[in-house]
Structure 1
Amino acid sequence: MLTRTLPAGLLLASALTLPVGAQTAWPVTLSNCGVDLSFAKAPESAVTVGQAATEILYSLGLADKVAGTSVWFTEVLPQFQMENAGIERLADNDPSFESVAALRPGIVTVQYEWHVGPQGIVATREQFADLGIPVYTLPSDCTGKDNTKGSDGTRSSMYSMDSIYQGVIELGRIFDVADKGTALVNELRSREAKAIEKAKALDLKDGSAVFWFSSAEMDIDPYVAGRKGPPGYMMQALGIRNIIESDEEWPVVSWETIARANPSVIVLARMDRRRFEADDHEKKIAFLKSDPVTSQMDAVKHDRLIVLDAHAMDPSIRNIDALETLAEALPKLDLK
């Protein structure tokens, strides 16, 4: 019988009061994106489907437990290059169910339900459960979000770093490194608060922005950040208005609509992935400056373009890096 799971806020509050070196009480039981999980002991190995899940495990000192990784947008964080180089990469993008299952991991950690979920393109949870392999999905992809609407899901409430912190704390408990989870969350919270304080001091009441992730074709409507996902959270936290009003995670919006809104700043995703031509941020910049519509926007005319790590636009621990990058760049753009 599974115990009643604490709400995310209470879970974090209780976790952050744990003494250093506290031992995990077994079994670990929790509800993960609507699915009850129970662990009698720490998993011996993991396969990750999603860069965010990979880098959380690395940050918890669990690289030696990771048997394989997949779904990469950018290079791994510099501090983990050595560990990551020795771990099998099953796929740069979507791995096959067979390649994940073949490693017989003790757990599969997932960034997005559209990879492993009710209609998962890699597999469903049930397919892994049939093999005795539990699946843990980062709460950031299901907290306040409906993954049945829109290609990338639709958010019913504003994204919060608390959902990432919950994932860190829960994975720390599952792998019996709860003290490392607590320490990591404390560090990230401190950095988050400092970045927000720095940007708030600018008092950017009239600043606005759009985050351009990519486009299926260079000259067609782009994928931009909806108002309630991680970029929406960043803009709200830093005192900037998001010109996009959709609740979809990454809606497609016409350049004509964006140009009419005339954002003060355009934030461009930089990534190593090359699924689309517009994955290349230098090609994004060239398009903005040459297209007859986009070239007339104030952000383009005045070179108010900020290049940001693409993975930092997704729910991940890199959201803090993004906040710091934006807080550092905004004072140089003369937005007042």
Structure 2
Amino acid sequence: MSATPPTHRHSRRIGVPLVLCSLLLTGCGAQTDPSDESGRKATVRRCGEPVEYTLPQRAVAYEGGSADKLFALGLTDHVHGYVMPPANPPVSESPWAEEYAKVRNLGDDLLNKEVVMEAKADLVVAGWNSGFSDQRGITPEILDKLGIQSFMHSESCFNYPEHPETVDPFEGLYTDLKRLGQIFRVPERAEKVVRRMQQRVAKVKEKAPRSDRTPVFLYDSGSDQPFTAGNQVPPNDIIKAAGGQNIFRGLNQRWTQVNWESVTRAAPEVIIILDYGDKPAKEKIEFLKNSPKTRGLPAVRKENFFVLDYNEGISGPRNIDGLEKFATYLRKLSR
């Protein structure tokens, strides 16, 4: 099982570009009609396991990616609240800031069973190891026994020990939106949102180079040993679709620790800085410029740094924003 990076456990960061919800066809604030659905069940996969869901009315989301998926589908009226750990940027900077304001802020710590029970949640949306956790005593199995439904991000199912599932990260995003559409009885709306995202990705790919792909290193954190992105998390697909090449694309892992020697051998021409927490991107860049382990890297010497917002790097609708911005950066760099 790959490690969960510090980004998904601590800290706070800044800066998210606003995107009109109309671009995602959300119908922000749109309602489902529970009149003939509240007692019926929909069978939807939770990672690799088929699960029966009743229509949720008091969903709790953990982290920005979870809440964004619900808001992007226009499900605000079915969301009771959110738990936002310190790694997330302020919700006021979200494209769905108005939707966040309509629901309850249930806490700024890690997800736990007590906050879920106190909220009388009927669905918890989170990732494996970044929200649900054996160590913290909140897992889908535990919630099942309490009569509380749960939904896990498909991207995180790679690590899930009970019913693992492996999908490419962008495909995982689309899958989540479609599955949530089934759970909340808005499948057509989910299909529209996914189609719009796929169209945006296709436009980026059309402009991306077919060869001579730029080697890219994602720097999450770490001084002695860096945390980075393997091929099972959204930045890998962002880099690939934009026309770059993740230097750790061969690691069949999510967020993982590597060594500086392997970074040096790969000679990245661009470094993506994952921006979050109490160590902002500027400080990470200064570290890379001054450390004898990294100051000789081509990307550092040329100062080719791209800052990726936290919620553009974890599974959620803002992955597509991050892709579009990074693709624009690469095209300008190539000129």
1:163 matched residue in structure 2: 172
Kept in 1, the 8 Å contact 2:153–2:176? The answer is yes
Residue 254 (str. 1) matches residue 267 (str. 2): no
1:65 matched residue in structure 2: 78
**What is the rounded CA distance, in whole Å, between the counterparts of 1:158 and 1:46 in structure 2?**
25
Shift of 1:115: 2.7
With the length of structure 2 as denominator, give the TM-score of the two structures: 0.80
Residue 131 (str. 1) matches residue 138 (str. 2): no
2:53 matched residue in structure 1: 39
Kept in 2, the 8 Å contact 1:210–1:266? The answer is yes
Of 100, 122, 131, the match for 1:106: 122
1:90 matched residue in structure 2: 106
**What is the rounded CA distance, in whole Å, between the counterparts of 2:227 and 2:314 in structure 1?**
13
The one-letter code matched in structure 1 to 2:41 is: P
With the length of structure 1 as denominator, give the TM-score of the two structures: 0.79
Q: Which moved more, 1:176-185 or 1:281-290?
A: 176-185
- How does 1:246-325 map onto structure 2 within 5 Å? 246-271=251-276, 273-274=277-278, 277=279, 280-325=280-325
Kept in 1, the 8 Å contact 2:57–2:78? The answer is yes
Task: Please list the CA deviations of residues 152-185 of structure 1 after superposition, one character each: whole Å capped at 9, or x if unmatched.
Answer: xxx9966242221121112112112222212111
- The number of residue pairs the alignment matches comes to 296
Counterpart secondary structure, 2:274: strand
**What is the rounded CA distance, in whole Å, between the counterparts of 2:61 and 2:32 in structure 1?**
26
Counterpart secondary structure, 1:180: helix
| Residues 39 and 256 of structure 1, relative CA distance in 2, 3 Å threshold | closer
**What is the rounded CA distance, in whole Å, between the counterparts of 1:206 and 1:61 in structure 2?**
37
Give RMSD over aligned pairs.
2.7
2:183 matched residue in structure 1: 174
**What is the rounded CA distance, in whole Å, between the counterparts of 1:287 and 1:310 in structure 2?**
19
Q: Which moved more, 1:55-64 or 1:247-256?
A: 247-256
Residue 208 (str. 1) matches residue 215 (str. 2): yes
**What is the rounded CA distance, in whole Å, between the counterparts of 2:142 and 2:251 in structure 1?**
34
Kept in 2, the 8 Å contact 1:208–1:263? The answer is yes
Shift of 1:125: 1.9
1:334 matched residue in structure 2: 334
The one-letter code matched in structure 1 to 2:45 is: S
Shift of 1:199: 2.0
The one-letter code matched in structure 1 to 2:70 is: L
**What is the rounded CA distance, in whole Å, between the counterparts of 1:112 and 1:259 in structure 2?**
31
- How does 1:176-255 map onto structure 2 within 5 Å? 176-200=185-209, 203-215=210-222, 219-244=223-248, 245-255=250-260
Task: Please list the CA deviations of residues 195-231 of structure 1 after superposition, one character each: whole Å capped at 9, or x if unmatched.
Answer: 121223xx4515101111122xxx3211011134322
Residue 52 (str. 1) matches residue 68 (str. 2): no
**What is the rounded CA distance, in whole Å, between the counterparts of 1:65 and 1:127 in structure 2?**
22
Identity across aligned pairs (percent)? 27
Highest RCO, 1 vs 2 (Cα 8 Å, sep ≥ 6):
2
Counterpart secondary structure, 2:96: helix
Kept in 1, the 8 Å contact 2:215–2:270? The answer is yes
